[in-house]
Amino acid sequence: MASIKVNATVPNVAMVGIGAYRPTRIVSNDEVCQTLDSSDEWIYERSGIRNRRYISGDETARSMAVAAGERAIINSGIPREEIGMVLLSTLSWTTKIPHGAPQVAYDLGINGVAAVDLASGCSGFGYGLGMAADLVRAGTSKYVLLICVETLSVVLEPTDRSTAFIFGDGAGAVVVGPSEENGISPTVWGSDGENGEAIGQNHDMLSYMDRAQEYQRRDPETDPLDRMVVTMEGPRVFRWAAVTLPRALKSTLEISGITADDIDVFIPHQANARINELMKKNLGLRDDIPMANDIENTGNTSAASIPLAMEEMLATGKATGGQTALLLGFGAGLSYAGQVVTLPPAPQITSF
């Protein structure tokens, strides 16, 4: 039997740089309520959101992904030629063919590297970070650039009371690579396809294709395109989160060999400030432990929410590089993924 070579394995890995991009257009609750039957008070009280950002002008998922990736590379200080893989985590890329990662790699001046998209909704950063860490540990890539980007404003139904006020746009990225001390725990992750339809879309690809000819025959004046939008049964997801997430957080601490007292910073997915407060309390984290609250002015940016929230905390001094943080993403799938990490250095180039 031939002996197949194994790359040198790397036990210790970490996030060595972070970057983000926030669209310039800020959309207040009052602006959302021009088309949505809701109010600023209701939205803030139920979700913790005051503003979100939507793309405008030349901004696209591609431009935001490239901007965040570029900042992460520069902030990491590593030569971009050492990046062996671009992982693009997104559920709102507008084409499946071609997928986005090769285009983003090309725009970043690293055409030719391994480049693949990853779709796991709001747990997209956690899944991507777990995969990036293991790719580096296995010696497959020296550095992995993980970029998470969403343009959810494009797939929102502005009159839908369960989604229109929640979602926003943005991008966050980290460079994962070898490190003296280990800075990324094993990942605790899972899924629940049984409840998958709790977050979804009104049309799947097949029904679009089935109706393609019908679309071509329609009169756009009298028969406007019934576009694809995201759907969510909010209370159902809330109930699922209340049962699933405390267990996931407990397992993440156990698998990392640390206790709640060792956590300096808590950075959960920015889905709902009330869910996050409950998780913090249930886990027994001290009141004075800083917790990400990027949702207030960025909304829920799905896969991009954790890196955006991490960047916000580092850029504003609410957290510092080298601190120990607990991360947990959750959402579409349904799915979740979390880690204990050492925070990367505060970014020199920020999204603000």
Active-site residue set: 122, 269, 300
Q: Based on CB atoms, which residue is closest to ligand UT7, 275 or 327?
A: 275
Beta bridge partners of 89: 118, 148
Candidates 23-31, 51-59, 209-217, 270-278: pick the segment binding ligand UT7 (CB under 6 A). 270-278
Task: Tell which positions 161-200 bind ligand UT7, by CB under 6 A.
Answer: 161-162, 165, 199
Residue of 60, 179, 238, 350 that binds ligand UT7 (CB under 6 A): 238
Q: In the structure encoding, which two tokens stand for residue 94, read together?
A: 């507008």
Give the C-alpha distances (Å, rounded to integers) separating 169 from 39, 185, 269: 21, 28, 14
Smallest distance, ligand UT7 to C-beta of residue 347, A = 24
Q: Does 326 bind ligand UT7 (CB under 6 A)?
A: no
Residue of 47, 75, 90, 92 that binds ligand UT7 (CB under 6 A): 47
Residue of 148, 154, 271, 328 that binds ligand UT7 (CB under 6 A): 271
Distance of alpha carbon 267 from alpha carbon 311, whole angstroms:
10
Residue of 139, 235, 257, 321 that binds ligand UT7 (CB under 6 A): 235
Smallest distance, ligand UT7 to C-beta of residue 280, A = 15
Residue of 272, 298, 342, 351 that binds ligand UT7 (CB under 6 A): 272
330: CB partners within 8 A, 6+ apart: 122, 123, 241, 244, 245, 248, 269, 271, 336, 337
Centroid of chain to Cα 79 = 25
Distance of alpha carbon 325 from alpha carbon 225, whole angstroms:
45
Q: Does 241 bind ligand UT7 (CB under 6 A)?
A: yes
344: CB partners within 8 A, 6+ apart: 14, 15, 16, 17, 18, 75, 76, 174, 310, 314, 321
List interacting residues with ligand UT7 (CB under 6 A): 38, 42, 46-47, 122, 161-162, 165, 199, 234-235, 237-238, 241, 271-272, 275, 300, 331
